[in-house]
Copies of this chain bind each other. A is one copy, B any other.
Amino acid sequence: MNESANRVATDPRSDRREAKIAGILSEAWDLARRDGLGAISLRDLAGAVGLRQPSLYVYFESKLALYDAMFADGYRQLLAYLDERDYTGTPRDALIRFTRDLITFASEDGVRYQMLFQRPIPGFEPTTESFALALEFYERATTVAANAGIHHQADIDLFAAVINGLSHQQVANDPGGRRWADLAEQAVDMLLAPR
């Protein structure tokens, strides 16, 4: 290969590094779906990407750093997923679609849902940089809710609990299905009903 050909916007060396990291993360999600989030083995992970186990330390300084990268990766996937959709239209309709999309996103990958919303790995806390992505998501969620009239803290708490509960039931009892996702409209109308 020609080491200096195609000198584009970014450094090709760090491009390749980023691509490798992306490949490792992709395999890490596969392993997590197979064995559980807490049971990822660095040996298995290295084998899945054609490396020996110590070579992983070139890309992640520890297993917790790998988890942190997965946490950030999952939130980037969620934000990209939301970017592809539009939440214009009436506030009620937007909130219904937002809710349904969140449940669907959770349903598509239960392990990813666990990582983002259940925090099931003892000893793992996301770094500030990674957690910023989570905050970005919460900001978007509260904005869509606020547009539909959900302002008080108690209402926001209830809204968050309902979305979380629907997502959890969907992932736990009907993974990949729509049984709870299809309750989004009913749930939102319930939340928005005047008291």
Contacts and interface: CB of A to CB of B under 8 A. Distances in A.
Nearest first, the 8 closest Cβ-Cβ pairs linking A and B are A165-B165, A36-B122, A161-B165, A164-B165, A161-B166, A161-B169, A190-B190, A158-B183
A193 interface: yes
Q: Contact residue range for chain A?
A: 20 to 34
14 contacts: A38-B38, A39-B122, A120-B120, A154-B186, A157-B179, A157-B183, A158-B186, A161-B165, A161-B187, A163-B165, A165-B165, A165-B166, A190-B191, A190-B193
A150 interface: no
Number of copies: 2
Contact of A35 (B122, B154, B187): B122
Contacts of A169: 157, 160-161, 164
